[in-house]
């Protein structure tokens, strides 16, 4: 009998220890994940009773929580100044639909529950005060953000502006956009109606075209082909075969030039100025798929960027035959990129071949303004040599001075660029791109125009995307 009692006691003791261990694990290890779980209603209700931290663009408040009137269901209301303008940066904070973008990736900081705020939370708990959230300061320039927004008026698309030396995102605009205030409302029936309308809108206003979608980059990809050639001994004066049309290997299909490139040979510089398809298709074929892929990856292809916004990776095909390689060399076939990625390519040229990883959060500040987090840049990677970067800057400047980018010219300012026009389906309008930079002060701007608001006409990179980029570049002067 005593043995049985001891056995039961032992089992009971082990069960108590297991329970204590599980409680400790839940409270210490899994606390943050449990609080962040979208199905944790109690945690969500608690968040709506917290003075959630601000999100700022420089010194401009773009998201904050304000006290509600007496009798309201929640103590604070999340509000977004110029909501559609900053939506791809801030994301939304919704009782029903959770969080997105910075509201999601810095949720615990904004809610005041991060591990870096544990001491303050302990003091608040002891004194009976409700925790106050930290503020998140972004790298966005309100001036450039507004300029990009204004420049996109009338188009569906996106603009990304980067500081080429640090990787700081200075502007991130997508159009059409949406108002996060609609999803932050305490009128839950209205929130559901807004969500239904936004998520079923065929124009996809909640889609971030700057970082979370990828598209054929068209002739802007010729920048990568040209830089690969320069890295392998070519120069701006190297003569390239430029037939009027080029038979794609293994097919009966001919690839034409969009512009009159003649039917003989052109220098690499002139072929880039005129964006001759046959020159770059043949050049890419000569360089080979492996060399192009390696160079594309050095610029950031096949890796996601800006994880705090859920950025997706741009893609260069893993397997290609000869025809597919030629089409990939002019930014078609299965090559796909977003404006952030193409801005990174130009940024490496401006930064002497060094590629700084892009980022959008500069620091996190506690309510007492002490810094809880400050961005620490990783060492830049060498995408191309300094000499190749200089040569590519010169080539892009020549495109604006004497080629397809003339509509981006700004008097008295050194501007470089490359246009691109891409087709995904012969029955749909083409996309327009312009990847550009201006020097002193240095800034990189990538423009992607999906179509105009009427969704009825082709978009051409040189004719339409270049003037849009010019408006943003001018805002930095």
Residues designated as active site = 219
CA distances from 444 to 54, 56, 115, 140 (A): 28, 22, 36, 14
Helix (H, G, I), strand (E, B) or coil at 26: helix
Helix, strand and coil content of the chain, in percent to the nearest 5, comes to: 40, 20, 40
Angle between helices 222-231 and 289-298 (to 10 degrees): 100
Backbone angles phi, psi at 341, to 5 degrees: -65, -45
| Beta bridge pairs of residue 432 | 421, 449
Residue ranges in 275-370 assigned as alpha helix (H): 277-287, 289-298, 322-328, 339-350
Do 130 and 122 contact (CB within 8 A), yes or no?
A: no
Dist. CA 100–CA 36, nearest whole Å: 12
Dist. CA 45–CA 119, nearest whole Å: 23
Do 447 and 210 contact (CB within 8 A), yes or no?
A: no
Dist. CA 465–CA 431, nearest whole Å: 9
The dihedral built from the CA positions of residue 326, 331, 332 and 334, taken in this order, carries a sign that is positive
Do 190 and 370 contact (CB within 8 A), yes or no?
A: no
Do 340 and 446 contact (CB within 8 A), yes or no?
A: yes
Q: In the 8-state DSSP scheme, what is residue 164?
A: T
Dist. CA 168–CA 163, nearest whole Å: 5
């Amino acid at each position: 009998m005593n043995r049985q009692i001891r056995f039961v006691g032992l089992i009971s003791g082990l069960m108590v220890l297991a329970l204590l261990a599980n409680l400790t694990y839940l409270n210490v290890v899994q606390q943050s994940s449990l609080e962040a779980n979208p199905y944790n209603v109690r945690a969500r209700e608690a968040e709506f009773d917290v003075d959630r931290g601000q999100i700022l663009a420089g010194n401009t408040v773009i998201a904050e929580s304000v006290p509600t009137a007496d009798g309201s269901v929640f103590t604070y209301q999340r509000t977004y100044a110029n909501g559609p303008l900053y939506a791809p940066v801030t994301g939304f904070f919704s009782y029903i639909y959770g969080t997105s973008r910075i509201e999601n990736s810095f949720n615990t900081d904004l809610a005041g529950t991060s591990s870096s705020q544990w001491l303050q939370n302990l003091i608040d708990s002891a004194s009976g005060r409700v925790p106050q959230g930290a503020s998140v300061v972004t790298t966005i320039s309100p001036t450039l953000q507004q300029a990009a927004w204004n420049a996109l008026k009338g188009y569906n698309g996106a603009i990304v502006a980067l500081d080429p030396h640090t990787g700081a995102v200075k502007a991130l605009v997508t159009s059409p956009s949406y108002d996060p205030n609609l999803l932050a409302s305490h009128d839950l029936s209205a929130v559901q109606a807004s969500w239904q309308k936004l998520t079923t809108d065929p124009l996809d206003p909640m889609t971030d075209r700057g970082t979370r979608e990828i598209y054929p980059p068209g002739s802007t990809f010729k920048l990568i082909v040209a830089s690969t050639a320069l890295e392998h001994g070519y120069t701006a004066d190297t003569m390239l075969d430029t037939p009027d049309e080029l038979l794609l290997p293994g097919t009966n299909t001919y690839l034409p030039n969009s512009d009159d490139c003649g039917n003989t040979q052109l220098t690499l510089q002139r072929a880039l100025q005129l964006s001759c398809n046959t020159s770059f298709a043949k050049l890419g074929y000569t360089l080979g798929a492996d060399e192009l892929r390696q160079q594309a990856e050095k610029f950031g292809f096949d890796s996601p960027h800006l994880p705090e916004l859920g950025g997706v990776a741009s893609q260069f095909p893993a397997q290609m035959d000869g025809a597919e390689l030629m089409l990939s060399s002019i930014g078609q076939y299965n090559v796909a990129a977003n404006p952030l990625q193409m801005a990174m390519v130009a940024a490496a040229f401006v930064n002497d071949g060094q590629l700084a990883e892009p980022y959008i959060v500069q620091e996190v500040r506690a309510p007492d303004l002490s810094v809880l987090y400050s961005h620490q840049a990783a060492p830049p990677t060498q995408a191309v040599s300094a000499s190749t970067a200089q040569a590519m800057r010169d080539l892009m400047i020549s495109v604006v001075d004497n080629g397809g980018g003339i509509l981006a010219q700004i008097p008295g300012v050194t501007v470089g660029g490359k246009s691109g026009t891409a087709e995904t389906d012969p029955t749909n309008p083409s996309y327009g791109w312009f990847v550009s930079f201006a020097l002193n002060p240095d800034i990189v701007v990538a423009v992607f125009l999906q179509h105009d608001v009427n969704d009825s006409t082709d978009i051409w990179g040189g004719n339409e995307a270049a003037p849009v980029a010019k408006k943003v570049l001018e805002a930095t002067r």
